[in-house]
Amino acid sequence: MGDAIKLGIIICDRYRTCAGGKCLRALRNREGAFTRYQGEEVELVGFATCNGCPGGNIEYVPQEMKKNGAEVVHLATGMIVGYPPCPWISYFKTFLREKYGLEVVVGTHPIPQNYYLTHMELGTWEGAAWKELVAPSLTDEKTRMAYD
């Protein structure tokens, strides 16, 4: 196997007390947005919050992650499943790519079933832009239920 793919995770500040269990389990099991690393070695080089709206840490945290070798930054699933979902997420994705030259993936662990059902009822993800944003974390029902 070659060099490990180095990545960072940025979570929504409203989940700042999260221990990262779902993200780390999904990374280990290559589930959700981490299926892209199937058969690859990965190394987590950073984990931080966005620092609250409108994302003050988005400006600075990726620089440290990049210094630690990050090639990819994942914007955590919590940013798309929270109520309401992060209104800045598309901007963050563009900013991180343009400012730091990092690949940006929206999502980490699979979307939990309870969030999936609520957002389906609310019609949150009906637009084409949202369909693209949730796609990496959207899995089958059995997997979603395992992340409830």
Which amino acid is located at 130 in the chain? W
CB 92, CB 74: distance < 8 Å? no
- Could you read off the pLDDT of 40-82 as tens digits, one per residue? 999 999 999 999 999 999 999 999 999 999 999 999 999 999 9
Instruction: Say how far apart CA 91 and CA 10 lie, in whole Å.
Output: 14
Residue 15 has pLDDT above 80, yes or no: yes
Residue 1 confidence (pLDDT): 52
Strand segments, DSSP code E, in 29-113 are 42-49, 72-75, 103-106
C-beta of residue 58 within 8 angstroms of C-beta of residue 96: yes
Domains annotated for the chain, with CATH where assigned, are 5-146 (3.40.50)
Residue 112's pLDDT band, with cuts at 50, 70 and 90, is very high
Q: How far apart are CA 105 and CA 103, in angstroms?
A: 7
- The whole-number average pLDDT for the span 120-141 is 95
